[in-house]
Amino acid sequence: MDISVTIGNILEQQTDGIVLNLFEGVDAPGGATGAADRALNGGIRSLIADGDFTGKFKQTSVLYPPGGIPAKRVILVGLGKQEAFTLDHVRQVSSVAAQQARKLGINSLTTIVHGGGAGGLHAADAAQAVVEGTVLGTYRFSHYKTGDQDDGNDLDRLTLVEFDAAKQAEVERGALIGQIVADGTCLARDLVSHPGNEMPPTVLAERAREMADGVGLSCDVLDETRIAEEGMRTLLAVAQGSAQPPRFIVLEHDGGKTHGPPVVLIGKGITFDTGGISIKGAEGMWDMKFDMGGAAAVIGAMQATARLNLPVRTVGLVAASENMPGSRALKPGDIIRSMLGKTIEIRSTDAEGRLVLADAITYAARYKPAAAIDLATLTGACIIALGHEASGLISNNDGLADEVARAGGRTGEIAWCLPILEGHREQIKSDIADIKNTGGRPAGAITGAAFIEAFVQDFPWAHLDIAGTAWTDKDRPYIPRGGTGWGVRLLVDFLRNRA
Ligand code: BES
Ligand code: MN
Ligand code: ZN
| Ligand 1 midpoint to CA 195 (Å) | 18
Which residues contact residue 286 at a Cβ distance below 8 angstroms, ignoring those fewer than 6 apart? none
Residue-level pLDDT at 449:
99
Q: Which is higher by pLDDT, 48 or 258?
A: 48
| Amino acid residing at 319 | A
Q: What is the pLDDT of residues 58-81, one digit of tens each?
A: 999 999 998 889 999 999 999 999
Give yes or no for residue 152 having a pLDDT over 80. Answer: no
Residue-level pLDDT at 116:
87
Q: What helix, strand, coil percent values describe the chain, rounded to 5?
A: 40, 20, 40
Q: What is the pLDDT of residues 155-165, one digit of tens each?
A: 999 999 999 99
**Among the atoms of ligand 1, which is closest to the Cα of residue 323?**
11
Q: What is the DSSP letter of 127?
A: H
Residue-level pLDDT at 68:
84
Are 461 and 397 contacting, i.e. CB atoms less than 8 angstroms apart? yes
Give yes or no for residue 120 having a pLDDT over 90. Answer: no
Residue-level pLDDT at 150:
59
How far apart are the C-alpha atoms of 437 and 347, rounded to whole Å? Answer: 6
Residue environment code for 251-270, b if the CB has 16+ CB neighbours within 10 A, otherwise e: bbbbbeeeeeebbbbbbbbb
**Among the atoms of ligand 1, which is closest to the Cα of residue 382?**
21
Average pLDDT in the 105-124 region?
A: 93
Q: Which is higher by pLDDT, 373 or 147?
A: 373
Beta-carbon neighbour count of residue 34 at 10 Å? 16
Q: Taking CB atoms and a 6 Å cutoff, what residues make up the pocket around ligand 1?
A: 273, 287, 291, 348, 350-353, 377-381, 438, 444, 467
How far apart are the C-alpha atoms of 178 and 168, rounded to whole Å? Answer: 15
Closest CA to ligand 1's atom 13:
350
How far apart are the C-alpha atoms of 176 and 8, rounded to whole Å? Answer: 19
| Ligand 3 midpoint to CA 377 (Å) | 6
Closest CA to ligand 1's atom 22:
380
Report how far apart, in Å, the C-alpha atoms of 288 and of each of 144, 236, 241, 272, 388 are.
18, 20, 16, 5, 16
How far apart are the C-alpha atoms of 395 and 449, rounded to whole Å? Answer: 9
How far apart are the C-alpha atoms of 18 and 72, rounded to whole Å? Answer: 8
| Ligand 2 midpoint to CA 482 (Å) | 20
Highest mean pLDDT of the ranges 149-163, 253-267, 293-307 = 293-307
Are 412 and 88 contacting, i.e. CB atoms less than 8 angstroms apart? yes
Q: Write the DSSP assignment of 267-292 as a string of letters.
A: EEEEEEE--TTSPPPSTTGGGGGGTT
Q: Which helix (H) or strand (E) holds 492?
A: helix 488-498
Q: What is the pLDDT of residues 406-431, one digit of tens each?
A: 999 999 999 999 999 999 999 999 99
Secondary structure (3-state) at 320:
strand
Give the whole-number percent of the chain exceeding pLDDT 90.
Answer: 95
* Alpha helix ranges (H) inside 345-473: 353-364, 380-386, 398-411, 422-427, 444-453
Residue-level pLDDT at 257:
74
Secondary structure (3-state) at 489:
helix
Q: Which helix (H) or strand (E) holds 63?
A: strand 60-63
Mean pLDDT (the chain, rounded) = 97
Residue-level pLDDT at 326:
97
| Ligand 2 midpoint to CA 14 (Å) | 54
pTM for the whole thing?
0.98
Q: What is the pLDDT of residues 195-242, one digit of tens each?
A: 999 999 999 999 999 999 999 999 999 999 999 999 999 999 999 999
Average pLDDT in the 38-47 region?
A: 95
Q: How confident is the model at residue 147 (pLDDT cuts 50, 70, 90)?
A: confident
Q: What is the pLDDT of residues 339-359, one digit of tens each?
A: 999 999 999 999 999 999 999
Q: Write the DSSP assignment of 10-61 as a string of letters.
A: GGG--SSEEEEEEETT-SS--HHHHHHHHHTTTHHHHHHHTTS----TT-EE
Average pLDDT in the 358-365 region?
A: 98
**Among the atoms of ligand 1, which is closest to the Cα of residue 275?**
13
Give yes or no for residue 149 having a pLDDT over 60. Answer: no
How far apart are the C-alpha atoms of 101 and 82, rounded to whole Å? Answer: 24
Residue-level pLDDT at 82:
95
Burial of 128 (0-12, 13-18, 19+ CB in 10 A): buried
Are 486 and 469 contacting, i.e. CB atoms less than 8 angstroms apart? yes
Residue-level pLDDT at 305:
98
Residue-level pLDDT at 370:
98
Residue-level pLDDT at 489:
99
Give the sign of the dihedral formed by CA 449, CA 452, CA 454, CA 459. Answer: negative
Average pLDDT in the 171-191 region?
A: 98
Can you state the angle between helices 488-498 and 398-411, rounded to 10 degrees? 120
Residue-level pLDDT at 458:
96
Residue-level pLDDT at 352:
99
Among candidate residues 55, 52, 47, the one with its CA nearest the CA of residue 22: 55
Q: Which of 289, 350, 352, 375 to mutate to test the pocket of ligand 1 (most atoms within 8 A of CB)?
A: 350
Secondary structure (3-state) at 102:
helix
Give the whole-number percent of the chain exceeding pLDDT 70.
Answer: 99
Catalytic residues: 280, 354
